[in-house]
């Protein structure tokens, strides 16, 4: 009796497996899979709809069978097979969009979490014309890259695929920022005004000029830096006679609503802001100005309340002499928004320092110690130094060399200590090879979508760095 029960159960299982099978004829090639595999593409996908057919006859789909085979393997295992390397990302994306499984493909093509220690040069974005990139904006929310090259703007999506290019009325764009789904603001150091462009139709939809009828010196101000918040665009502008300010512009009306930090520009403490950052976590706008002269570097950092326009904190270097590193002014400043910290890199020593944005004081800096014995005696100061914070890491460009400072957590008992800034909190490592460093001086670094984007002076294109899919893997022998 028990044998009969088992036999019936086996037949039921076999029958259910047979009924679960679906046959598809894609481009003349027969595929057989299961209902559950097809439905793993999501309820709104074409494949899920085909899984509901009652007919045993295979449905014919007039598409490429080889690409479909790779996509079917993706649905089965959540990863692309090695055969997918024969196709471009765009070919895979086009077919995935047709079948309604673009989100699954995007997850499979997405880079692993960026780790600077094992990142390498993955690709290079090269605009088809005016290949030298004058500025770019890497957008972390959708992993797109908005590129200014000459007087043109090109957009590349999460897969680094070119989606559109428009030509603006400017001959040279030195500042660009994505401020909406199809909206960018651009400015030039040679022509006045900040300009809004709709990339969907290529049209200029608005312009803002800094004007003051009571002061004739405020005329034809040029954009030096730009950043945005959810409802505003902030632009640092400078006139011919060096008067400068930061304008707050409403995104909806595209009109200036507030003037911040107006100054004459006749000293290092009043030069135009060269770098703007908006910190939504503390609702602060930060302006950084760095001036390099015969006697070295000087500059300032200012935090504004963007609603009232008031300065809430400020520091100047070289400063009053109370600083523990007097005479070693910063060459660049950037911010780790996840950790609410501010980093500076010193112009003479090349040392890296960190400050807690929640505990700012007259001299808030903690200088990081060099823990890597291979890099202790590397000459680090000089010109052409810049930094960028991304994914709790600090990426530093020194001339043509690229390095990373990674936050260290050695053991569980160190977690509480990690919350207090100290000199041993980060470790420094090279990212590039000798041949990478020889390509040219690093001009800009930005992170987005677990990738690092790098441009170099007078070198065409944008370098794309990312970690291996096997990042962090440990081999046990």
Of the listed ranges 125-139, 245-259, 405-419, the least confidently predicted one is 405-419
Quick check: 189 pLDDT over 80? yes
Residue 472 has pLDDT above 70, yes or no: no
Match 């598409």 to its residue by tokens. Answer: 63
The dotted CATH code for 19-107 is: 3.30.710.10
DSSP state of 209: -
DSSP codes of every residue in 222-256: EEEEEEE-SSEEEEEEE-TTS-EEEEEEETTTTEE
The Cα–Cα gap between 253 and 81 comes to 49
Comparing CA positions, the residue from 353, 404, 351, 400 lying closest to residue 379 is 351
> What is the DSSP track for 323-371?
STTTT--EEEEEEETTTTEEEEEETTT--EEEEETTS--SS--EEPP--
pLDDT band at 52 (very low <50, low <70, confident <90, very high): confident
Residue 372: what pLDDT?
A: 67
Strand order in the sheet with 29-34: 29-34, 21-26, 59-61
Q: Domain 114-409+416-465 falls in which CATH fold?
A: Methylamine Dehydrogenase; Chain H (2.130.10)
- Residue 473 pLDDT > 50: no
Which of the 8 DSSP states describes residue 460?
B
Q: What average pLDDT score do residues 17-23 get?
A: 72
Q: Do residues 169 and 207 lie in contact, with contact meaning Cβ atoms separated by under 8 Å?
A: no
More confident residue, 318 or 200: 200
Give every CB contact of residue 423 below 8 A, 6+ residues apart in sequence.
366, 367, 368, 369
So what's the pLDDT on residue 433?
Answer: 81
Region 100-123 average pLDDT: 92
Mean pLDDT value of segment 144-163: 95
Sign of the torsion formed by the C-alpha atoms of 349, 318, 295 and 331: positive
Q: What percent of the chain has pLDDT over 90?
A: 69
Above 60 in pLDDT, residue 176? Answer: yes
How many Cα atoms sit within 13 Å of 267 on the Cβ side? 5
pLDDT at 295: 73
Each residue's pLDDT tens digit, 302-360: 999 999 999 999 999 886 545 567 678 999 999 999 899 999 999 988 999 999 999 99
What is the DSSP code (8-state) at residue 114?
P
Band (pLDDT 50/70/90 cuts) for residue 14 is: very low
pLDDT score of 297: 86
Domains of the chain by residue range = 19-107, 114-409+416-465
Q: Output b/e per residue, 49-59; b: 16+ Cβ within 10 A.
A: ebbeeeeeeee
The arithmetic mean of pLDDT across residues 97-109, rounded, is: 92
The token pair at 248 is: 């707050």
pLDDT at 254: 97
Helix (H, G, I), strand (E, B) or coil at 380: coil
pLDDT over 90 at 137, yes or no: yes
CA–CA separation, 217 and 240 (whole Å):
8
The b/e string for 433-462 (b: 16+ C-beta within 10 A; e otherwise) is eeebbeeebbbbbbbbbbbbbbbbeebebb
- The whole-angstrom separation of Cα 94 and Cα 161 is 12
Cα 93 from Cα 74, distance rounded (Å): 13
Average pLDDT on 211-215 reads: 92
Cα–Cα distance list, 351 to 234, 321, 331, 398, 404 (Å): 30, 18, 10, 11, 13
pTM (two decimals): 0.86
- pLDDT of res. 382: 62
Question: In CATH terms, are 19-107 and 114-409+416-465 the same topology?
Answer: no
- Specify the residue for token string 């709790």: 392
């Amino acid at each position: 009796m028990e044998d009969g029960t088992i036999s019936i159960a086996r037949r039921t299982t076999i029958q259910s497996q047979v009924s679960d099978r679906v046959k598809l004829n894609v481009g003349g090639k027969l595929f057989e899979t299961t209902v559950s595999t097809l439905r793993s593409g999501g309820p709104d996908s074409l494949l899920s709809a085909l899984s509901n057919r009652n007919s045993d006859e295979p449905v014919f789909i007039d598409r490429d069978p080889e690409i479909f085979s790779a996509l079917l393997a993706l649905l089965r295992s959540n990863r692309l097979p090695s055969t997918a390397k024969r196709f471009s990302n765009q070919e895979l994306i086009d077919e995935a969009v047709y079948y309604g499984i673009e989100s699954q493909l995007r997850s499979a093509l997405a880079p692993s979490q960026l780790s600077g220690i094992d990142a390498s040069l993955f690709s290079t974005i090269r605009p088809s014309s005016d290949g030298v990139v004058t500025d770019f904006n890497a957008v972390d929310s959708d992993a797109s890259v908005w590129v200014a090259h000459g007087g043109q703007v090109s957009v590349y999506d999460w897969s680094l695929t070119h989606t559109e290019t428009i030509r603006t009325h400017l001959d040279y764009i030195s500042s660009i920022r994505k401020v909406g789904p199809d909206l960018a603001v651009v400015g030039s150091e040679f022509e006045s005004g900040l300009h809004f462009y709709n990339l969907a139709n290529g049209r200029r939809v608005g312009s803002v000029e800094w004007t003051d009828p009571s002061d004739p010196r405020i005329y034809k101000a040029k954009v030096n830096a730009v950043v945005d918040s959810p409802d505003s665009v902030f632009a640092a502008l400078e006139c011919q006679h060096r008067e400068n300010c930061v304008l707050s512009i409403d995104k909806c009306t595209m009109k200036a609503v507030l003037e911040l930090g107006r100054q004459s520009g006749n000293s290092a403490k009043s030069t135009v802001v060269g770098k703007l950052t908006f910190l939504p976590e503390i609702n602060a706008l930060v302006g950084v100005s760095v001036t390099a002269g015969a006697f070295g570097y000087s500059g300032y950092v200012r935090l504004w309340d963007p609603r009232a326009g008031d300065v809430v904190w400020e520091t100047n270097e070289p400063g009053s002499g109370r600083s523990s590193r007097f005479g070693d002014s910063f060459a660049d400043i950037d911010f780790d928004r996840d950790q609410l910290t501010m980093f500076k890199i010193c112009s003479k020593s090349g040392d890296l320092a960190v400050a807690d944005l929640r505990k700012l004081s007259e001299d808030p800096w903690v200088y990081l110690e060099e823990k890597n014995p291979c890099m202790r005696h590397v000459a680090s100061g000089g010109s052409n130094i810049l930094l960028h914070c991304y994914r709790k890491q600090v990426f530093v460009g020194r001339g043509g060399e690229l390095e990373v400072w990674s936050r260290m957590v050695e053991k569980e008992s160190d977690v509480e200590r990690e919350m207090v800034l100290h000199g041993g909190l980060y470790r420094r490592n090279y990212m590039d090879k000798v041949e990478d460093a020889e390509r040219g001086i690093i001009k800009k670094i930005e992170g987005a979508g677990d990738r690092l984007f790098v441009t170099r002076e007078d070198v065409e294109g944008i370098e794309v760095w990312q970690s291996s899919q096997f990042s962090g893997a440990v081999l046990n022998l």
